[in-house]
């Protein structure tokens, strides 16, 4: 299978005031093939979220390469990078990051790329996605009035709005009871079967085991992949 994303000798360093700098990611090499389902594991502070940010094109490395679909991001302007990110990547977070006073439908309608399509088409797509995640009866509920598992399913529908190839999830089941967590995993399996590339950070071994591959990270380095 072809690679969808490659990280080559990637380094990420944060400046921490007058105390100097801190290497969060040290020489990361990782190839992700199109359609893979990967779990990222490692202790707190290991650099998992930072790695996910790099994979998700949310930030640029200090050195090394990020190649996505034959684009080396070094060659892209910030604007081009943002555009590519919106088309290619959907994000799911531990704390859902929904707008609490907006309905499920309006939350799913938020992502920007699709905004250029006619309103009717957008609404139809959002409805179809909410149906796909099993929330056809909750479309007009405010997200603050939904359970954790329902909120996360709205967040997954939102992540799918621009039809990204890659779904990135940072502890997607971290705030859920095990039954709701299983529901989220079922959806990920379904999306995986449809050809999406899924990359999920998790602390939960039973979740990680469901992936095709586990990438272990420790102190900013990949220790197994």
Ligand X SMILES: Nc1ncnc2c1ncn2[C@@H]1O[C@H](COP(=O)(O)OP(=O)(O)OP(=O)(O)O)[C@@H](O)[C@H]1O
Shortest approach of ligand X to residue 45 CB, angstroms?
4
Q: Of the ranges 48-56, 75-83, 115-123, 159-167, which one interacts with Mg ion (CB under 5 A)?
A: 48-56
CB of 49 to ligand X, least distance (A): 3
Shortest separation between residue 55's beta carbon and Mg ion, angstroms: 13
Structure tokens that stand for 92 in this block? 């799911």
What DSSP string describes 118-177?
Answer: -HHHHHHHHHHHHHHTT-TT-TTSBGGGS-HHHHHHHHHHHHHTT--SEEEEESTTTTS-
Q: Which pair of structure tokens corresponds to residue 81? A: 């990078």
CB closer to Mg ion, 49 vs 127: 49
**CA 81, 87, 92, 96 torsion-angle sign:** positive
49 binds Mg ion (CB under 5 A): yes
Judged on CB neighbours under 10 Å (0-12, 13-18, 19+), 3 is middle
Query: Site residues for ligand X, window 42-101 (CB under 6 A)?
Result: 42, 44-50
Q: Decide which of Mg ion, ligand X, none touches 50; Cβ closer than 5 to 8 Å per partner kind.
A: ligand X
CA angle 214, 216, 218 (to 5 degrees): 170
Q: How many residues bind ligand X (CB under 6 A)?
A: 12
CB of 94 vs ligand X, minimal distance in Å: 8
Give the tokens for residue 144: 């603050």
Is 12 or 158 the residue whose CB approaches ligand X more closely?
12
**Contact between 24 and ligand X per CB under 6 A:** yes
Q: Which residues bind ligand X (CB under 6 A)?
A: 14, 16, 22, 24, 42, 44-50
């Amino acid at each position: 299978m072809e690679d969808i994303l490659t990280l080559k000798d990637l380094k990420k360093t944060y400046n921490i005031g007058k105390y100097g700098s801190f290497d969060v990611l040290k020489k990361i090499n990782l190839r992700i093939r199109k359609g893979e389902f990967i779990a990222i594991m490692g202790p707190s502070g290991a650099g998992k979220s930072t790695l996910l940010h790099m994979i998700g094109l949310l930030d640029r490395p200090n050195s090394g390469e990020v190649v996505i679909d034959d684009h080396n991001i070094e060659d892209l302007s910030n604007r081009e990078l943002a555009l590519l990110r919106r088309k290619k990547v959907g994000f799911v977070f531990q704390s859902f990051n929904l707008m609490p006073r907006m309905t499920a439908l309006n939350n799913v309608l938020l992502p920007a790329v699709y905004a250029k399509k006619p309103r009717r088409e957008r609404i139809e797509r959002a409805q179809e996605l909410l149906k796909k995640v099993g929330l056809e009866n909750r479309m007009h509920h405010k997200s603050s009035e939904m359970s954790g598992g329902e909120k996360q399913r709205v967040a997954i529908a939102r992540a799918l709005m621009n039809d990204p190839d890659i779904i990135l999830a940072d502890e997607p089941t971290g705030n859920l009871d095990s039954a709701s967590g299983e529901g989220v995993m079922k959806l990920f399996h379904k999306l995986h079967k449809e050809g999406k590339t899924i990359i999920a950070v998790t602390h939960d071994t039973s979740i990680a085991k469901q992936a095709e591959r586990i990438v272990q990270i420790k102190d900013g380095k990949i220790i197994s992949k």
